Chains A and B, each alone.
Chain A
């Protein structure tokens, strides 16, 4: 018994010595980081772009634009990694980028809070770090090129203030539960529209996970349960298009208003056609241009910090053709 007590005391003492030698500093992540101030000029810089999910049509468009834009810089090699809309995978990708000593990393967070400590590790490791679409708040250091989901929702919600009739009945389609973009866009609709238009009644609201088919099924059912629906308010264009598909050809829903966010090729075609009402554009090309310019300026020392935003232009029937032309140029609309 005495011997066991001695052993326990001995182990405890050894642990205490080990902690004190380590200065009691507990750190996370890869301990091999350098310092941002000792960056040297190079002929070629390796940049990692960690995309939220390449199966998501907007994120895939952004990744493709990033690759195209990177080709314009002789001294930049861009490698794209797919976060697969999974926080754990995205965090692992950031850790890998740090371990593989990339010169810079551009991160499209899947969930800002979940990625924050890992992004901070990249910054602390001396890697040029840019967060994009969305900007990740709460970091010490770092840079950002943003398309703000609140502003994207707000610009559409403000346009609906006048357009949606008095005492209207509306349905609301949300993205996946807890998704940063969906939550911020829904928050914008609440503050910029529903709080100001208390006469408007939400007759149905549910999650369709950004998916066109899920929105189609929900709207098929809602349109049977609610003979009057004046507007579809959707947190992305894909779901708005799916809901419109459900009421296509039903005379009771002629003239239904439909609002989305993203400015996808399908949405601008529907808006031009008069089927959809409005959306706001996340311009992947503009995001890619600003991201690559920012990373190049930061790596070459032309800038020490970059925090910039792209616009959130409202697309309506008046300017839809302009965006159809943009998509034709990008090869995303073919006819």
Chain B
């Protein structure tokens, strides 16, 4: 029995342990925390960021990044609101949001995958383009009187809030894509070692397009939920959301160097941030201190995660840089070998 317990790799579950500690601490600090109202409250609040975080996670695992998520979310959400106001058709409105998200991301994908421009720069540019476009479209004014559009963000299906239902469905779909499909394995391989993946016959450019496509769909869905939740089309919405979206997967064990990360780790990362924000509001901690705590938690969580995995990277395959020379991977995380083996957090 003891020997079996010893075989459990505790470090692999470190992020969930941290989440559990945060939840237990929160429930001790406030009697309201574990009420069903508050649990749904937290889940509603984290839905948008978590959906964006899955997109960010996909790109980071694939060795890319998206700095435009907040601005594209605002653009797609506002377009969706406008389409709904003129058609009164929810399906068309959601499709419009997804279309805008996908279009922006495919432009980024073309520049990143086909023209080999760094994703950081491309998506930084896309952030400005999307923000400018939505401000021009609305002339900086909020779009009001949304009618039944608010149902997606504020409605319930039975006892389950619709944003939470969407979050559950998206989580399962992304988990399936990343773990059970060739696409998912290819994303890990490309992010782990692009040259090796190419040598192994993986269509690297196509995988990058697909990763941006998935991100675009998620950003579009997030835009609809966001605008519906606040009952307005806000052109200046989502400022800084791209960084919050990146924070969740990083806390959840996704490696900035690519090739490493899990869907449930990202979910745990988003929940840690959401629960911390919630409990600090419940017990009346001001936003200045909240920022200090959030910053400290991010640093501690990532440091602990890296520390707990130290020494387990002995079988690391040497990464290849752009010139074909071998370099050791950084941060103690294992680089994925070509073919798709991956490290779970």
The answer to whether A216 touches B140 (Cβ under 8 A) is no
Contact check: which of A57, A64, A225, A245 meets B283 at CB < 8 Å?
A: A225
With A54-B135, A57-B140, A224-B35 given, is the CB distance from A212 to B234 under 8 Å? yes
Stretch at the interface among B211-219, B224-232, B303-311: B224-232
- Indicate whether B277 reaches chain A with its CB closer than 8 angstroms: yes
Distance in angstroms from A208 CB to nearest chain B CB is 8
Distance in angstroms from A50 CB to nearest chain B CB is 16
**Binary CB contact string for chain B from 141 to 160 against chain A (1 if under 8 A, 0 otherwise):** 11011000000001000000
Residues in B with CB closer than 8 Å to A131 are none
**Binary CB contact string for chain B from 12 to 56 against chain A (1 if under 8 A, 0 otherwise):** 000000000000000000101001011001001100000000000
Residues in B with CB closer than 8 Å to A204 are 281, 284
With A56-B236, A224-B35, A332-B141 given, is the CB distance from A213 to B229 under 8 Å? yes
> With the chains together, A225 CA to B278 CA distance in Å?
10
> With the chains together, A241 CA to B146 CA distance in Å?
14
- Indicate whether A59 reaches chain B with its CB closer than 8 angstroms: yes
The answer to whether B230 touches A207 (Cβ under 8 A) is no
Contact check: which of A213, A334, A335 meets B226 at CB < 8 Å?
A: A213
With A213-B237, A224-B37 given, is the CB distance from A333 to B230 under 8 Å? no
Residues in B with CB closer than 8 Å to A59 are 140
> With the chains together, A222 CA to B286 CA distance in Å?
12
- Indicate whether B139 reaches chain A with its CB closer than 8 angstroms: yes
The answer to whether B142 touches A57 (Cβ under 8 A) is yes
- Indicate whether A161 reaches chain B with its CB closer than 8 angstroms: no
The answer to whether B278 touches A221 (Cβ under 8 A) is yes
Of all chain B residues, the one with the shortest Cβ separation from A221 is B281
**Binary CB contact string for chain A from 268 to 287 against chain B (1 if under 8 A, 0 otherwise):** 01000000000000000000
Within 8 A of B (CB), among A219-251: 220-222, 224-225, 238, 241-242, 245, 248
With A220-B41, A224-B35 given, is the CB distance from A245 to B231 under 8 Å? yes
Contact check: which of A57, A61, A206, A212 meets B287 at CB < 8 Å?
A: A206
The answer to whether A55 touches B140 (Cβ under 8 A) is yes
Residues in B with CB closer than 8 Å to A61 are 140-141
A54, A205, A213, A335 pick with most chain B CB within 10 angstroms? A213
Contact check: which of A57, A211, A212, A222 meets B141 at CB < 8 Å?
A: A57
- Indicate whether B342 reaches chain A with its CB closer than 8 angstroms: no
- Indicate whether A317 reaches chain B with its CB closer than 8 angstroms: no
Of all chain B residues, the one with the shortest Cβ separation from A55 is B236
The answer to whether A213 touches B234 (Cβ under 8 A) is yes
**Chain A interface size range:** 35 or more
Within 8 A of A (CB), among B216-265: 226, 229-232, 234-237
Within 8 A of B (CB), among A55-74: 55-57, 59-61, 63-64
B32, B277, B283, B284 pick with most chain A CB within 10 angstroms? B284
- Indicate whether B298 reaches chain A with its CB closer than 8 angstroms: no
- Indicate whether B282 reaches chain A with its CB closer than 8 angstroms: yes
Query: Chain B: how many interface residues by the 8 Å CB criterion?
Result: 35
> With the chains together, A221 CA to B44 CA distance in Å?
12
Residues in B with CB closer than 8 Å to A220 are 41, 44-45
Distance in angstroms from B223 CB to nearest chain A CB is 12
Within 8 A of A (CB), among B253-303: 277-278, 281-284, 286-288
Distance in angstroms from B46 CB to nearest chain A CB is 10
Of all chain A residues, the one with the shortest Cβ separation from B240 is A209
The answer to whether B139 touches A60 (Cβ under 8 A) is yes
- Indicate whether A179 reaches chain B with its CB closer than 8 angstroms: no
- Indicate whether A266 reaches chain B with its CB closer than 8 angstroms: yes
Of all chain B residues, the one with the shortest Cβ separation from A214 is B287
The answer to whether A225 touches B284 (Cβ under 8 A) is yes
- Indicate whether A217 reaches chain B with its CB closer than 8 angstroms: yes
Residues in B with CB closer than 8 Å to A47 are none
> With the chains together, A245 CA to B139 CA distance in Å?
24
The answer to whether A55 touches B135 (Cβ under 8 A) is yes
With A204-B284, A213-B237, A221-B282 given, is the CB distance from A56 to B140 under 8 Å? yes
> With the chains together, A303 CA to B251 CA distance in Å?
62
The answer to whether A207 touches B287 (Cβ under 8 A) is yes
- Indicate whether A320 reaches chain B with its CB closer than 8 angstroms: no
The answer to whether A212 touches B278 (Cβ under 8 A) is no
Residues in A with CB closer than 8 Å to B236 are 55-57, 211
> With the chains together, A14 CA to B234 CA distance in Å?
60
Of all chain A residues, the one with the shortest Cβ separation from B140 is A60
**Binary CB contact string for chain A from 55 to 95 against chain B (1 if under 8 A, 0 otherwise):** 11101110110000000000000000000000000000000
Distance in angstroms from A227 CB to nearest chain B CB is 9
* 14 residue pairs from A and B, CB less than 8 Å apart: A55-B131, A55-B140, A55-B236, A177-B288, A212-B234, A213-B237, A216-B230, A217-B277, A217-B281, A220-B44, A225-B283, A264-B142, A266-B142, A334-B145
Beyond A221-B278, A238-B142, 8 additional contacts (C-beta under 8 Å) are A56-B140, A56-B236, A204-B281, A213-B237, A217-B45, A221-B41, A221-B281, A242-B230
